[in-house]
Amino acid sequence: MEIVLVHGAGGTPTTWTLVLPMVDERGHAVTAVTNPMTSLEDDIATTTAWIDENTTEDVLLVGHSYGGAVITGAGHHPRVKGLVYVAAWAPDEGESIQDILVNYPEAPVSKHMGRGPNGEWFSQRTPEYYAEIAWDLPEERRTVWDGESRKSSNLIFEQKSASPAWRAKPAWYLVAAQDKTLRVDTQRDMAARIGGPTYDVDGSHFVPQVSPGRVADLIDEAAEALS
């Protein structure tokens, strides 16, 4: 089974730098895709095309943050057998990330967000941001994260999901228990709606960087169950 890792908004495969070798050491074929973050539809198409062009194996999709919305759509690929959500968005049919956001109080990260000239979003990675939002991300990882972060089109948050793959395929959810980016109550509600195995991990939204072993464990559990 091929494990395909999908980054979140503003991210790159660097999200998975620590997770990927752990998954590889456990005997799984694993890769991380790079999405353009121009729209949700574009990112779903990019991930789907990667599966078509690069593997003939069954696939387990793993999404972090906004990457959860991507795997919710790309998961309909016939060779995708399951989904793993890591502190990730899991929209329902006809629902966008923005639609989910308005049902909850603002997350603390909102005060650290900036907009580009075309309405694109980016995190303002100030010392205050790290102190409040990513306090547990090691200093050396912050430098890498800052160097590779990208802007995200507003369309990734406003385009609505089609029928979600999590309604048709097995799904697992890992909640970041002190998350200040994607509210913990929002995560729990989405996980409950999915209805699959759900676990907590201590720490911030940067789960793949601060708890890579726990992410690898969940991937291993899901892959074993699907096999």
Hey, where are the domains in the chain?
A: 2-226
Joined tokens for residue 33: 């895709």
Q: Which of 179, 168, 22 is nearest to 108 (CA)?
A: 179
- The DSSP output letter for 201 is E
Rounded distance between C-alpha atoms, residue 10 and residue 115, angstroms: 12
Q: Would you place residue 49 in the very low, low, confident or very high pLDDT band (cuts 50, 70, 90)? A: very high
Specify the 3-state DSSP secondary structure of 42: helix
Q: Would you place residue 147 in the very low, low, confident or very high pLDDT band (cuts 50, 70, 90)? A: low
The hierarchical CATH code for the domain 2-226 is 3.40.50.1820
Q: Would you place residue 152 in the very low, low, confident or very high pLDDT band (cuts 50, 70, 90)? A: confident
Tell me the pLDDT tens digit for each residue of 168-188.
999 999 999 999 999 999 999
Residues 6 or more apart whose CB falls under 8 angstroms from that of 13 comprise: 5, 7, 20, 32, 33, 34
Rounded distance between C-alpha atoms, residue 136 and residue 92, angstroms: 31
Strand segments (E) across 39-164: 59-64, 80-86, 113-115, 121-123
Tell me the pLDDT tens digit for each residue of 189-218.
999 999 999 999 999 999 999 999 999 999
Task: Quickly count: other Cβ atoms within 10 Å of residue 223's Cβ.
Answer: 23
Question: Whole-model pTM above 0.85?
Answer: yes
Give me the percent of the chain exceeding a pLDDT of 90: 81
Contact (Cβ atoms closer than 8 angstroms) between residue 42 and residue 61? no
Average pLDDT over the chain reads 93
Specify the 3-state DSSP secondary structure of 98: helix
Specify the 3-state DSSP secondary structure of 171: strand
Tell me the pLDDT tens digit for each residue of 94-124.
999 999 999 999 999 999 877 778 777 777 7
Instruction: Give the sign of the dihedral formed by CA 181, CA 208, CA 126, CA 153.
Output: negative
Q: Which of 65, 75, 125 is nearest to 100 (CA)?
A: 65
| Predicted local distance difference test score (pLDDT) of residue 123 | 77
